[in-house]
Amino acid sequence: MATQRASAWSPLRNRIFFVLWMATLFSNIGTWMNDVGAGWLMTNLSPDPVMIAAIQAMTTLPVFLLALPAGAIADIFDKRKLLIFVNILMLCAATLLAVLVYFNVISIGWLLLITFVLGSGAAFLGPAWQAIVPSIVEPHELKSGIALNSMGINISRAIGPALAGILISQVGLYLPFLLNALSFIAIILAVWWWEGEKKEEEKLPAESVVAAMISGLRYARYSPALIKTIIRAASFFIFASAYWAMLPLVARVSLQGDATLYGLLTTSIGIGAVVGAFSLSTLREKFSTSTLIAFGTIGTALVLFIFASATSKYLAIFASMLAGFSWIITLSTLMVSAQTALPNWVRARGLALYLTVFSGSMALGSLVWGQIASHTSVTIALLCAMVGIILVWLCVLRVKLEHDNINLQHSEHFILDDGLIEITTDKSPVLITVNYQIEAIHREQFLSLMNRLKTVRLRDGGYSWGLFVSSDAITENNAQTYMETFMVASWAEHLRQHDRATMDDKQLQQQLDKIISAKKVTHSFSAFSPKK
């Protein structure tokens, strides 16, 4: 059967996706207006490069600190209720900032604190928003849906900063903050209208937040595709953060501009990103994932050089457009890579880990480049970032992200006997042993397949995995007896392990079944139940 292909716009024909996309567009316009206003406000309160960079850090640091527990919460609880609750809290924080600025009682401490609170809200929203996309669009539209989400962010980036610059210079600094507060109302109403994800009735007790975080980290540990994506993300964003952190100073100090110029530069980044988003579908057909990231990296290095040496506003505007184009190419490519590396059961947690690395890289980079600029100059900081991004990119060239062919759709090939399906609240560990009989001629193939199965067992909840061969060596039918052992934390966790099986796992099991002469599974429970 031919693979279905989706156009870049097909997800917008989905009414739910369209309404939520439009609501997030308006909300993101408000967010970008707030970011421009906060950056410009800090230049009035303190022109120190460290304090300017601190605004960027306070925006991204909360995501680094909170994204993983936020992802666990999003995977466990109702995403719709979570989105409504967090947006209401952000509405209150944004309103407080607008009031403080309007009455001219804002201070550096209040600005950083409210920025941190808004960043914390974004930390809880990010994993949940990204995780609901696969449940709204058709599987073949997933890449288009992710690209449209990125495009929406960058359309708002094109509108929000320009509007903020005009409003700051013509009306007052308080207005962008007020409009940001009002923008949260659109997203709250849209999510309230949405009925939420359709889920099957849960047969297992919910994981605790801590246990869910541990299972998410464990999955990432044994997912080469996700690990590679995270490595490539960190190697890009920590250096790309330099021009985001230094942009207010490039506008005010290097180019001797005002808030309008700063808004124009940020808007130009948005325009470049929108052009990049329009080009993504065509670029993906012609180039590999690694090549697209190479384009984004080289383009960003050129941007850093231009910003470091630019004295012309027009050259800076060109660099901003190139920055947006390079940013969206890289960001969208890495996000698709992260999405395709994750099955549904751990999607929010995996994306939260990706967002943790993204935000941590942005926050750390902002602080580093701010310190370098404070002790030397903005030019030196940008040039250091340019050299760094090229050198690190060369170091990670071997980390390939070509994993579009993996199939992580749910499979029900791991079936338990009816007598073992009953739910139990027993929280004691369970030992699983599987005895295999393998003909000697299949020994090498069996060991190779079992090494892959080990990763599956550990990824989905097992620990203390081992494979042993019987001392009897060869049996009467010229077969060797092997015993696989592993443990899980509880019986409920073992049932979850069965529910986490994928189509790739099924294919691996089918390969094993072809060479197994006989197989017997035994479940052993702890003789000493934990104290109540």
**pLDDT confidence of residue 472:** 63
State the SS3 of 383-420: HHHHHHHHHHHHHCCCCCCCCCCCCCCECCCCCCCHHH
Distance CA 465, CA 78 (A): 34
CA angle 526, 528, 529 (to 5 degrees): 85
* Domain-ending residue, one of 395, 426, 448: 395
pLDDT at 456 over 70: yes
Residue of 527 and 422 predicted with greater confidence: 527
The proportion of the chain whose per-residue pLDDT surpasses 70, expressed as a percent, equals 91
Confidence of residue 385 (pLDDT cuts 50, 70, 90): very high
Query: Does 225 reside within a domain?
Result: yes
Query: What secondary structure letter does DSSP report for 252?
Result: I
Do 347 and 426 reside in the same domain of the chain? no
Q: What is the mean pLDDT of residues 391-395?
A: 94
Confidence of residue 530 (pLDDT cuts 50, 70, 90): low
- Across 177-323, the runs of DSSP E, i.e. the strands, are none
Residues 121 and 65 sit within 8 Å (Cβ to Cβ): no
Q: Scan for tokens 């094109």, then name that residue.
A: 158
Do 431 and 471 reside in the same domain of the chain? yes
Residues 115 and 42 sit within 8 Å (Cβ to Cβ): no
Phi, psi (deg, nearest 5) at residue 466: -155, 155
Burial code of 84-100, b = ≥16 C-beta within 10 A, e = fewer?
Answer: bebbeebbebbbbbbeb
For residue 118, give Cα distances in angstroms to 115, 278, 532. 5, 30, 41
- Can you spell out the DSSP letters for 8-41? TTGGGGSHHHHHHHHHHHHHHHHHHHHHHHHHHH
Do 359 and 491 reside in the same domain of the chain? no
Do 372 and 462 reside in the same domain of the chain? no
Kindly report, residue by residue over 21-37, the tens digit of the pLDDT: 888 888 888 988 898 88
Query: Does 202 reside within a domain?
Result: no
CATH number at residue 469: 3.30.70.100
**pLDDT confidence of residue 243:** 87
Distance CA 482, CA 478 (A): 13
Confidence of residue 532 (pLDDT cuts 50, 70, 90): very low
pLDDT at 467 over 90: yes
**pLDDT confidence of residue 477:** 56
Query: Does 56 reside within a domain?
Result: yes
Kindly report, residue by residue over 226-263, the tens digit of the pLDDT: 999 999 999 999 999 998 888 888 888 788 887 778 77
* Domain-ending residue, one of 340, 364, 395: 395
HSE at residue 236, side-chain half, CA atoms within 13 A, is: 30
HSE at residue 377, side-chain half, CA atoms within 13 A, is: 9
**Collapsed DSSP state (helix, strand, coil) of residue 428:** coil
User: For residue 511, how many other CB atoms are within 10 A of its CB?
Assistant: 16
**pLDDT confidence of residue 167:** 85
Query: Does 377 reside within a domain?
Result: yes
Do 59 and 112 reside in the same domain of the chain? yes
Q: Which of 272, 98, 298, 275 is nearest to 181 (CA)?
A: 98
Residues 510 and 484 sit within 8 Å (Cβ to Cβ): no
Query: Does 328 reside within a domain?
Result: yes
Distance CA 150, CA 154 (A): 6
Query: Does 373 reside within a domain?
Result: yes
**pLDDT confidence of residue 360:** 81
What is the average pLDDT value for the chain, to the nearest integer? Answer: 84
pLDDT at 74 over 60: yes
Distance CA 181, CA 174 (A): 11
Kindly report, residue by residue over 76-114, the tens digit of the pLDDT: 888 888 899 999 999 999 999 999 999 989 999 999 999
Q: What is the mean pLDDT of residues 395-424?
A: 71
Angle of the 313-340 helix axis to the 259-286 helix axis, nearest 10:
50
Do 96 and 152 reside in the same domain of the chain? yes
State the SS3 of 436-485: EEEEHHHHHHHHHHHHHHHHHHHHCCCEEEEEEEEEEEECCCCEEEEEEE
**pLDDT confidence of residue 1:** 39
The number of distinct structural domains making up the chain is: 2
Tokens read off for 47: 């022109």
Ranked by mean pLDDT, the top range of 91-105, 133-147, 268-282, 517-531 is 91-105
Query: Does 67 reside within a domain?
Result: yes
Do 498 and 458 reside in the same domain of the chain? yes
Do 390 and 422 reside in the same domain of the chain? no
Distance CA 148, CA 126 (A): 15
Kindly report, residue by residue over 313-357, the tens digit of the pLDDT: 999 999 999 998 998 889 888 988 888 888 888 888 888 888 888
Distance CA 290, CA 72 (A): 30
Confidence of residue 431 (pLDDT cuts 50, 70, 90): very high
Do 315 and 453 reside in the same domain of the chain? no
Distance CA 344, CA 503 (A): 13
- Across 148-263, the runs of DSSP E, i.e. the strands, are none
Distance CA 328, CA 307 (A): 19
Distance CA 58, CA 120 (A): 9
**pLDDT confidence of residue 2:** 42
**pLDDT confidence of residue 404:** 67
Q: What is the dihedral sign for C-alpha 29, 19, 271, 333?
A: positive
Kindly report, residue by residue over 182-228, the tens digit of the pLDDT: 999 988 999 999 887 766 656 666 777 888 888 889 999 999 999 99
**pLDDT confidence of residue 88:** 95
CATH number at residue 225: 1.20.1250.20
Phi, psi (deg, nearest 5) at residue 135: -85, -15
Q: Which domain holds residue 509?
A: 418-525
- Can you spell out the DSSP letters for 253-269? IIS---HHHHHHHHHHH
Distance CA 304, CA 323 (A): 9
Angle of the 289-309 helix axis to the 313-340 helix axis, nearest 10:
150
Kindly report, residue by residue over 283-317, the tens digit of the pLDDT: 888 888 889 999 999 999 999 999 998 788 999 99
